[in-house]
Structure 1
Amino acid sequence: MKKTLFLVMDMMNDLVAEDGFNAQTYGVQVKERGVLERTKAAIAAARAAGALIGYVRVGFSADYREAPEASPIFSGARKNGIFQLGTWGTEVHTSIAPQPQDFDIVKHRVSPFYATSLEAVLRANKVERIVMCGVSTNGVVHSGAREAHDRDYEVVILDDCCAGVTPDEHMHAIACMGRYGRIVESTEFDWAA
């Protein structure tokens, strides 16, 4: 098996929980697409095959010192009091909760690579392939796929373990990512290959 890291990205309560801040936006698509259930099964398959698991979470200090005020994405976090590290909102959803050996990668921007520990984790563990999923498809997943490609990793995106705010948003993002990696359904991916 190629040395693989499965990145589960931004599957935090503020984004995916039925009673989270974004329950009426991302939460709707996460539920309709069965993202949490499919991601849970994919994590189990990855673990069984010996893949490493990493969780990427967006989060800020209580005073939002890392959040850019001019960002159309992150200025809303400050205004709405979400994405605060150390709160329920930035914890990974309990249905797919990390285990002690998993990597916790905290980011302050859209990209899972920018100013995070991800690069060090990949190098230290001699990772060759990054399998990824998350919310949102056109945010962290799209950014992660492009950047992983440009760092010469094999990229695999689990289509059915991703969601956007709308079905169209997800579909368009997936269509673009086919240039940077392989798009597969989670049940069709052979973790042992």
Structure 2
Amino acid sequence: MKKTLFLVMDMMNDLVAEDGFSKATYAVQVKQRGVLENTATAIACARAAGAQVGFVRVGFSADYRECPPASPIFSGARTNGIFQLGTWGTEVHPALAPQSQDFDVVKHRVSPFYATSLEAILRANGIQRIVMCGVSTNGVVHSGAREAHDRDYEVVILEDCCAGVTADEHMHAIACLARYASIVNSRELLWSS
């Protein structure tokens, strides 16, 4: 089996919980697409096959010192009081139940690679293949897939474990990502290959 890391990205309460900050946007798509259930099943399959699991979370200190004020994506975080590390909002959704051996990668930008521990984790564990999913498809998944591709990793995206603000946004992002990664349904992935 290829040394594999399953990256579950930005599946935090602020974004995916039905009573979270994004309950009218991402959480709607997450529920309609069955993203949490599909991802929980994929995590169980990954563990059973011996793949490692990592969670990526976006978050900032209470005073938002790492938050870029000019960012169209993050400028509202401070105003809305979201993405504060150590709060319920930045915890991984309980349906996905991180375990003590899982990696926890905290980021302050869209990319899971930029100024995070991800690169060191991949190298230290001899990872060859990165299987990824997350919210949003056109944000962290798009950025992560492109960067992983350019670092010469095999990249697989679990399409049914991703969501955007709208179904159209998700599908447009997936169409673009097919140039950089294999796009599969989570039930079709052979983790042991």
User: For 1:163-186, what per-residue CA distance to the aligned partner results, in whole angstroms no more than 9, with x for missing partners?
Assistant: 000000000000000000100000
Q: Name the SS of the counterpart of 1:43 in structure 2.
A: helix
Q: What do you get for the CA RMSD once the two structures are aligned?
A: 0.3
User: What is the rounded CA distance, in whole Å, between the counterparts of 2:97 and 2:47 in structure 1?
Assistant: 13
Query: Per-residue deviation at 1:97?
Result: 1.7
| Whole-Å separation in 2 of the counterparts to 1:181 and 1:70 | 31
SS of residue in 2 equivalent to 1:188? coil
Q: What residue in structure 1 maps to residue 23 of structure 2?
A: 23
Distance between the aligned counterparts of 2:146 and 2:14, measured in 1? 25
Aligned letter for 1:99? Q
Q: What residue is the counterpart of 1:165 in the other structure? A: 165
Number of the residue aligned with 1:14: 14
- In the other structure, the counterpart of 2:139 is 139
CA positional deviation for 1:126:
0.2
Once residues 76 and 186 of structure 1 are traced to their aligned partners in structure 2, the CA distance between those partners, rounded to angstroms, is: 33
Q: What letter is aligned with 2:72?
A: P
Residue 91 (1) aligns with residue 91 (2): yes
Segments ≥4 residues shifted beyond 4 Å: none
Name the SS for the 2:131 alignment partner.
strand
2:104 partner amino acid: D
5+ long unaligned stretches in structure 1: none
2:73 and 2:63 map into 1 onto residues whose CA distance is: 17
What is the percent sequence identity of the aligned residues? 81
User: How many residues are aligned here?
Assistant: 193
- Report the secondary structure of 1:60's partner residue: coil
1:30-49 matched pairs, under 5 angstroms: 30-49=30-49
**After the TM superposition, which residues 1-193 of structure 1 pair with which residues of structure 2 at under 5 Å, given as runs?**
1-193=1-193
What is the letter of the counterpart of residue 146 of structure 1? Answer: R
User: What is the rounded CA distance, in whole Å, between the counterparts of 2:109 and 2:35 in structure 1?
Assistant: 23
Amino acid at match of 2:151: R
CA distance in 1, matches of 2:116, 2:142: 17
* TM-score, normalised by the number of residues in structure 1: 1.00
Deviations 1:2-56 (A, max 9, x none): 0000000000000000100001100000000000000000000000000000000
Q: Tell me, which stretches of 5 or more residues in structure 2 are unaligned? A: none
